[in-house]
Chains A and B, each alone.
Chain A
Amino acid sequence: MGNPKTIIDVNELQTSFFTSKGEVKAVDGVSFDVPSGKTLGIVGESGSGKSITSLSIMRLLEDPGKIKGGKITFQGEDLLSKSESEMRRIRGNRISMIFQEPMTSLNPVFTIGDQIAESYMIHEGLSKKEALKKSLGMLELVGIPSPKDRLKAYPHELSGGMRQRAMIAIALACNPELLIADEPTTALDVTIQAQILRLINNLQEELGMSMMLITHDLGVVAETCDYVAVMYAGKIVEYADVETLFKSPKHPYTVGLLKSLPRHDIDQDELEVIKGMVPRPDQLPQGCRFAPRCPFARDLCRDHLPALDNIDDKNQVRCWIYSEEWDGPEVNVQDDYGTAQSKQS
């Protein structure tokens, strides 16, 4: 996408689940890149394919999930053509991942120290003793109080926030170039979420990592990301830098999403809603995936899938409204959403 230096470039990624009922396209032609040292947010509701995208990059899909096509270039290397053992040397070393549930993402039968040390032993070939010593340093870095005792603690002896810090320690142990955080604070309370987000931001700056943040929370995106990709039903519908996206969103889905969010900082009378629900991945509409819920949708939208196009130098949008083929009245999605929506049957 024309950025001078990118850490990872995902091109037309297609990931499907092959079930007994047929193919389910979870990720369907997704392209984006992450500029070096920056944070890309991937936002979407459940079923949008955002988590599958991150697991595809790590090549950690479980059966019956399969990457069907596309290209993932990480630091000039093609990840999809790597062997399993080459991938293993990248995972946890050059690309790390933090998961949503700190309660279940740590192995209950090993100590925190053992679990961090394992990364050093695998990737840096350290002895257990040296690895534990470095693990202690990591626990200090992520701000876990009395780290010496925590090294010997089991996950269930730690609070949710502390476990997520331990998870971060594991992920950052080998100084990864890219960190993928999949809903890292969703399971946490807000005051703890604020701590963790600040910690991640500080560490990113300190260690110069690039980051992908996968989340459903637009507030978290606004506060931590530089660029945002909005996903809907397996496709990216909008991509922009964070300020543009929140100030002048272009895709009707993005607009609807922002309008349906109850805010704690301003008064809203009634929430605008997005009618209907996310289509089931095995019953995707033929045209634009959002057409059945879109208040502006026309036959053009229902029949043909729009492409993700640059509409100015800031937004990339997958929507017919901004194309030359648009045959409806001129609309300003942001201003007209409410009226169009109330007319929607």
Chain B
Amino acid sequence: MSLARTQGFLFRKYAVYFVTLVSVALLASGCISLYVAYRENRAAQVALQHEKARAAADKIEQYIKEIEHQIGWTVLPPAVSVDRLNRQRRLDYLKLLRQVPAITEVAYLDPRGREQLRVSRLELDVVGSQRDFSHDPRFTATRAGQRYFGPVYFRKATEPYMAIALPLDRGVTVVEVNLKFVWDVVSNIRIGQAGHAYVVDAGGQLISHPDISLVLQKTNLAALPQVASALQHANENLPPVSTEHNAIDLQGNSVLTSSAAIATLGWIVFVEQPLAEALAPLYASALRSVVLLLLGLMLSVLAGVTLARRMVTPIRALQAGAEKIGAGALDHRIQVDTGDELEVLAEQFNRMATQLQASYADLENKVQDRTQQLELANRAKSRFLAAASHDLRQPMHALGLFVGQLHAMIQSPQARKIVDQIRASVEAMEQLLNALLDISKLDAGVLSPQLEDFPLNRLLQRMETHFAHTAQAKGLRWRIMPCRQVVRSDPLLLERIVMNLVANAVCYTTCGGIVIGCRRRGAYLRVEVWDSGPGIPQEKQREIFQEFIQLNNPQRDRGHGLGLGLAIVERLARLLDHRINLVSRLGHGSCFSIELPVGNTPQAQPPPRAQTSASNPLSGLFVVVIDDEILVRSGTEGVLRGWGCHVLSAGSGDELLALLAAHERTPDLIISDYRLRENENGIEVINRLRTHYATPISATLISGDTAPERLREARDSGYPLLHKPVSPAKLRAMLNYLLSEMGKPAEPPAEATIQL
């Protein structure tokens, strides 16, 4: 998972949560306040309209009532003659016209519905016209003692009139009233810019409207929802509704409207205002709210982002810290100072890291301890091997020297045969010891390979001379494929590898044969050793390269060696960086091979090593021998004397110096055991002698020690080192070498050092 993506996601998530929360709250409150404001505004507008409508209705009603009241004054007492009555009534009517300018005409209908008197502002006054009104609504409607309000009509297109009939004086008084006053009242009602009032009668007919042409067109508004509703309420004597929600005007536009009924006339006054205008202040406030809301939203976004960042920062610190700790930086500590659960969490993380660190350190200590123990065990093993081989070497060394002496002395062929057998046994033992020593040396890491280019054939020839006889003696077919290839390796170490492999093949093969051949593989040459032995099972093929592992030798017959051959092979191959391969089939045989880098043809063959000639250059040399083991001392002394040397031997440096004090001659050679008694060593003794005589006397160290540290010390001293047991031949070769190098800087022969 991408870390950046995760971080971004957390941040976005928190930011979105915050913003959504605040936005929803703001929106909700904004909407609620808008709705409340809408309701209140609308209610206030309706209330205002209702007030105006009510006031107008009251005015109109009052106006009509006043007219009725004035008409009431015309009631006359019963009079004797009709004529006088008419005269009196006429005067009253004239007065009425004076009192009420809106009345244009007054007429009196007798109980039969005949017009007895008519007084008019415009027309001729008429008395006793006897016109029949008995079927006129002005007469019929008032028969039951009711007032009558006629329909509104217009004179000259602009003057609204209405007849009012009142039952008076047993007859009916009919007046024609100019309703311009009503029109004035209605026209004067203004609400806002476009708001106005109008009046409809009980049938929904428009009576008064600021636009008089609508009235003249006899517009009926009963179809408008608000009018229909108000009329229904008025007809059913229900309390009038103050407002109608889906009210519309004549053009079909939505309006806010309110009405008030004029009970006496059955008319209804409506006050209306276009909804858009009525709600304009509301829209303005809504706009303000929206602007505020937007501002609030912006603030909330800012706050949300900030809060989210503040929340996310410690979480990111936690995440980064956990990641670092997880990556192994156990000393890392997370710093969070939020003072909340996150800080607690960070502390727990830190505590966990501390515990981890502690247990990790504990583990490391344990590993270190274990490694140390292993090292100690390994060292102990090396020490054991070294000690064992040293202790075995001492008598072996002496034995070899004595056998050599004995062989020179014995003349009887029978005895000589026995001595030869003893010598063979000693040699076999020596080999076993050398193998042990080799392992010790390889483990000590004191070997440094000296790589050179050389023809492989030389090595193969040596195998021929070394093993052909043995193989043939066992009845095996023996074949070496010749090879002209030059390889790059350490010839001595390589020879040891091949020799071990061939020795194994010869040892373990009982029938069939052995073939040694080479194959070129690119830049490598592969030396293969084939045998028809018992074969090695697959699961054992790794195991055999370990120390002391021998297959097919459960009896641990030491005639088959100690099982160190392949262990040495493996160590040497690793040292030389050569690859060892094993192909084996159980019951069919094995093939060990080693891959060598192909080398360049060397310019010149190294000169053949100096061989001891028949002449004896050692005769007459003054050789001193220091060894704390008396047997070894006397064995060595015997061999050296046999070679014609003058020998002086001692157990320690002090003893030797004491003996030498009786001799005037400076020793020619020093042979010293490496490890002496009382913590004295050969290097010190040699150095003392050299100092004593102030001459760099040639010297060689002999050691039975195989401990790697000792070997390293000996090597560092610069003196040649021979490993016990040293055969007389080896000793002689070393002495010859020292003799030839006398006076030159010491460069010990390789064979002597590597001892292979």
Q: Do A and B bind each other?
A: no
- B-side interface residues toward A, CB under 8 Å? none
- A-side interface residues toward B, CB under 8 Å? none
